[in-house]
Amino acid sequence: MSIKGDAMADNNFYLELLKDSNLTNISNEDKEIITIKIWTLLGKVTERYTMGDSSSVPVEIAEELLKSITFLLKKEMKNGKFEVDIFECENLEGVWKDSWITIEKDIAMGKDLLEEVIKTSTGIENISYDDTVMGIEKGLKIYDYRFLAHEVPCSIDYQLSNPVDEDMQGIDFINEYLTRLLFENKFCNNFEKEKIIGILKSYCRDYKGLLINIFEPVLTNVIGLEMLEADIFELEIKSYEREILLYTFKKMNIEEDIIKAASNICNKLKIVSDYEINYVKMTVLNLLPRIKEGIKNNNIENIFLSYKIEEDEVRDIFVSNENMDDERLRGLIEEIRVCRFTKDKIAAIHKEVRSLDDLVEIFNNCIWEDEVEEIVNNLNKEEVEALKYYLNNKLNDNISNTGWEQKFIK
């Protein structure tokens, strides 16, 4: 076998095999035997990869093939075969082929896990979740375990509460990811979908489009409710409950009590698997830095969530809408200025204005104090809530020439 380009900078992939076996203390002579056998196998795999056309490949491809070989041999080593066969067999091709049986079983397991993930989905719309599940489904169909077994054949964007170790490869990574995702789904299915959506809206307004985890904010609120000795199935933590929780945190051993709460939750939800119990506890422990920071700042509002009230939702949508361009805004201001009747100003606002910045510009330039009451009474909910938000957050010295602010407040 020959490799095009420079020799591989690191050709000691076989050392990974030794780390996970009882072969770490073998002699240098035996290490040379292992090296020769692995390189011989690489030559045969390369010929298969090129379908016999050539045993010469670019260095990048040779490295990927060697990584795949290492991954497959390590799987066989876990079956207890590799440590014997590596010295007894003439070459490792037989062990390499045997690994296909093992990995085919793992792929079948992955398909079963994926089916369970699909069945237990919360049904809550999230683009990264849906894309990831579809991507894994396609990836399992095209997974090239003979030559690229170490690769994950799909894009996995949906974030788990506890990410899979990046050292895991290939089907091992996929199956561990699916196992964790399945548990997160099953946990969330203990609660009403609409209540989960209510929490997600407070957690992240664009929960459908952004890379968020659904399970974590649900578990966080459940932990808070358990520590309050409240009904965990309500999910929402109201403002006064949050104040009680903040006071409670200041008086307790947070780490000890939060783990106790996690154990109580597992009992209530009949979570008995050690794996799943530890998953809950890992997620809870990850909350500790945020909780401690919240206690320090005397504010845990963004950790333990209340449902976002309708007025907040419509205000946020209006506040974040895109502004019209400057030329169009100047034209609208001139149009409203020459309106003879207040009702015509109201009609123009309803028709044209879709953002808070534009609405404030209109009020600053076109709406006089004696017109404010009539206009406000005819504004829709989004517009009124957006103006309230503006007045609550603007600088005191930023007063308009028309004086509408004082009249609005009254």
- Claim to verify: residue 210 and residue 298 sit in the same structural domain: yes
Mean pLDDT over residues 172-189, rounded? 98
Report the percent of the chain where pLDDT is more than 70: 83
Question: Residue 226: which domain range?
Answer: 191-308
Distances (CA, A) of 353 to 92, 155, 321, 337, 362: 72, 40, 10, 15, 9
* 23-54 residue pLDDT tens: 556 677 777 777 788 888 888 888 888 887 76
* 214-264 residue pLDDT tens: 999 999 999 999 999 999 999 999 988 988 999 889 888 899 999 999 999
The predicted structure's pLDDT at residue 11: 47
53 part of a folded domain: yes
143 part of a folded domain: no
- Claim to verify: residue 196 and residue 303 sit in the same structural domain: yes
- Claim to verify: residue 330 and residue 240 sit in the same structural domain: no
End of a domain among 81, 101, 121? 101
- Claim to verify: residue 397 and residue 327 sit in the same structural domain: yes
Residues contacting 203, CB < 8 A, separation 6+: 212, 217, 305
- Claim to verify: residue 395 and residue 299 sit in the same structural domain: no
**Which helix (H) or strand (E) segment is 269 a member of?**
none
The predicted structure's pLDDT at residue 6: 46
The predicted structure's pLDDT at residue 375: 84
Instruction: Provide the pLDDT confidence category of residue 55 given band limits of 50, 70 and 90.
Output: low
63 part of a folded domain: yes
- Claim to verify: residue 274 and residue 256 sit in the same structural domain: yes
Distances (CA, A) of 168 to 12, 63, 78, 112, 249: 19, 18, 14, 20, 37
Cα gap 156→51, rounded to integer Å: 31
Q: Where are the alpha helices (DSSP H) in 79-229?
A: 82-88, 93-119, 127-142, 170-188, 193-203, 215-227
Q: Has residue 190 got a pLDDT over 90?
A: yes
Q: Has residue 20 got a pLDDT over 70?
A: no
- Claim to verify: residue 299 and residue 321 sit in the same structural domain: no
- Claim to verify: residue 347 and residue 301 sit in the same structural domain: no
The predicted structure's pLDDT at residue 181: 98
3-class secondary structure, 198: helix
Radius of gyration for the chain, computed over Cα atoms and rounded to the nearest angstrom: 31
Give the mean pLDDT of the chain.
84
End of a domain among 101, 118, 139? 101
269 part of a folded domain: yes
Residues of the chain by 3-state class (helix, strand, coil), percent to 5: 65, 0, 35
The predicted structure's pLDDT at residue 378: 84
Q: Has residue 395 got a pLDDT over 60?
A: no
Mean pLDDT over residues 378-396, rounded? 72
Give the count of domains, the chain: 3
Q: Has residue 12 got a pLDDT over 80?
A: no
72 part of a folded domain: yes
End of a domain among 308, 333, 354? 308
Higher pLDDT, 375 or 269: 269
- Claim to verify: residue 277 and residue 369 sit in the same structural domain: no
- Claim to verify: residue 303 and residue 318 sit in the same structural domain: no
- Claim to verify: residue 296 and residue 321 sit in the same structural domain: no
The predicted structure's pLDDT at residue 10: 46
The predicted structure's pLDDT at residue 236: 94
144 part of a folded domain: no
Instruction: Provide the pLDDT confidence category of residue 204 given band limits of 50, 70 and 90.
Output: confident
* 92-110 residue pLDDT tens: 788 888 889 999 999 999 9
* 297-355 residue pLDDT tens: 999 999 999 987 544 555 555 556 678 889 999 999 899 988 888 888 888 888 888 88
* 57-103 residue pLDDT tens: 788 888 899 999 888 888 877 766 555 556 566 667 888 888 899 99
Q: Has residue 127 got a pLDDT over 60?
A: yes
Instruction: Provide the pLDDT confidence category of residue 9 given band limits of 50, 70 and 90.
Output: very low
